[in-house]
Chains A and B, each alone.
Chain A
Amino acid sequence: MTVQAQRSGGGYLNRPSPSSLADVVEIILDKGIVIDAYIRVSLVGIELLTIDARIVIASVDTYLRFAEATNRLDLYEKGGKDLGEFIGDMQENGASGKVSGAVKGAKKALTSGGDDEDDDEQERRPRRSSSGARRRSSSR
C-alpha cells in the first residue's frame, strides 16, 4: 500500500500489469456494447461477477471506520502503540473481518487463483495499518 512499494522503474505512476485479473474485473466487467434485451441475445453469468464492489456499507459503519483510522493517526508525539490502540486493533480485526470477509467472499469466485494482489481495496478504505503512522512520517 505504500507509494514506494508500487513504484516501478523509479516512476511514481503505478502501471499495473495488463493481465491482472483484478484490474480486468474493475475496468471492463460492466462495459461494452449492450444489445437490447428484447431480441434473442443473452447476458449470462453476469450476476456472479458483478457482486464484487457492489456491497454498500452502512454509513454509520463507514463513519466508525474513519473515526478509528483517524484515532490511529500519530499526529504529534506518540512513540509506540499504547494500550488503547492495541485494544482498538483487536476489536477492529474482529469487526472488520466480517465486512472484508464478505467482500472477499464475493470476489473469490473470480479471483481465487492468486493474482488479485492488493486490488480488492476499493470500498474498504480505510484499511487496517498498525504501522501506518510511521510509514507516513518517513514518506514526507
Chain B
Amino acid sequence: MTVHPEETVLFVYAVVPADHAVPTDAKGVDDNPLEVVQQGPIAAVFSEMTAIRPPGRRADLTAYSAVVEALVPGGAVAPMRFGTVVPDRDVLVNEVLAPRADELAAVLADLEGRAQYHLRVTFVEEAVLTEIAEADPRVRELREATRDLPEDAVVGDRIRLGELVTQSWERWAHADADRILSELVPMLSTHRVRREPGLSAVLDLALLVDADRSQEVEDRLEHMAAESAGRLNFRLAGPMAPYDFVGSG
C-alpha cells in the first residue's frame, strides 16, 4: 500500500470479540475517537489518522498501548502489531477480518480470562562476577595478570579473561533460567521465552496466566525474588494485554 500524504488511513489497535464493550470515551492516535467495525464473531478497534507522517512517534506508541490496555477490562483482546495501518473500512473488513475471522475468534476464546505478564530476571553484576571469579582459578589468575596494567597491555589475556567470564555468565544464566522456569511453568497457562538466557538477561519471559491464579504467580515471584536478593533482580510488568500470545508474533 502506498501511503499518500494528507490521505486519511485507519490505525488498527486490536481485534476483540464482537460483543466486547469498547470504551466509547477513549481516544486513539492523534486524539481521534475509537471506532469499531464488526465482522461475524469478531470486531476491529481502530481510529482515523492522517497519513501525513508515519505512526512512529513516541506519542503514537503510548496512545496505542493506552488503547489496548483500555480494552482489557472489557474482555479478551488480541492486539495488532503496533503500526498496522489500512486504507479504509472495506479493506479492514474484507481483507483483514473476514479471511481470518474463525482463527481470530478461536484465539480470542483461548485468551478469555487470561492476562499476560512480562518477567525479566537479570544478574546482579558484582555478585555474579565475584562468584565466577571465585569458582574459576583461571579467571583469578588472568585477573591478577591484567588488572593493574594499562588497558592496551596484555590485550590477549584480557580477551581470554572476558571470554571465560562471559562463558560462565551464560552457562549460569541458563542454569538459573531453567531453575526459575521449572518452578514457574506449572502455574502458567502458557509462556514464551522471548530471548535465550545470555549476557543481557537471565530470563526474558512472557507469561500467560489465568486470572484466578495471578495472585499466586505474583506471590511466588515475590518469594523467589526475596530468596535471590542480591544475586538476581526480578522485574515483573503486567497484567497487560496478551501481546505475545496472539499467534503470528
Contacts and interface: CB of A to CB of B under 8 A. Distances in A.
Nearest to B90: A40
B209 interface: no
Contact of B125 (A32, A129, A139): A129
Contact of B91 (A40, A63, A132): A40
A27 B198 CA distance: 18
Interface string B142-170: 11001111110000001111110110010
B200 interface: yes
A73 interface: yes
A45 B78 contact: no
Interface of A: 3, 6, 11-16, 18-19, 21, 23-35, 39-49, 60, 62-71, 73, 75, 82, 84, 87-88, 91, 109-113, 122-123, 125-127, 129, 132-133, 135-136, 139-140
A42 B84 CA distance: 6
Contact of A139 (B96, B159, B230): B230
B101 interface: no
A136 B249 CA distance: 39
B236 A44 contact: no
Contact of A12 (B9, B226, B240): B226
Contacts of B201: 122
Nearest to B232: A3
Report, nearest first, the 6 A-B pairs whose CB atoms are least far apart.
Answer: A45-B56, A63-B162, A45-B54, A31-B243, A67-B162, A32-B81
A34 B222 contact: no
19 contacts: A19-B62, A21-B62, A26-B118, A27-B243, A32-B80, A33-B84, A41-B84, A46-B83, A62-B166, A63-B160, A63-B163, A66-B162, A70-B132, A73-B129, A87-B150, A111-B58, A112-B58, A136-B130, A139-B230
B130 A18 contact: no
B172 interface: no
Interface of B: 1, 3, 9, 14-15, 54-58, 60-62, 65, 68-69, 78-87, 91, 95-96, 104, 118, 120, 122, 124-127, 129-130, 132-134, 139-140, 142-143, 146-151, 158-163, 165-166, 169, 199-201, 218, 221-222, 225-226, 229-230, 233-238, 240, 243-244, 246-249
B230 A140 contact: yes
A75 B139 CA distance: 12
Contacts of B125: 69, 125-127, 129, 132
Contact of B221 (A13, A18, A47, A132): A13
**Which of A24, A60, A64, A122 is the most central at the interface, judged by chain B CB atoms within 10 Å of its CB?**
A24
A62 B160 CA distance: 11
A122 B233 CA distance: 13
A68 B147 CA distance: 8
A48 B190 CA distance: 31
B82 A32 contact: yes
Residue from A16, A27, A34 having most chain B Cβ neighbours under 10 A: A27
B95 A71 contact: no
A46 B54 CA distance: 9
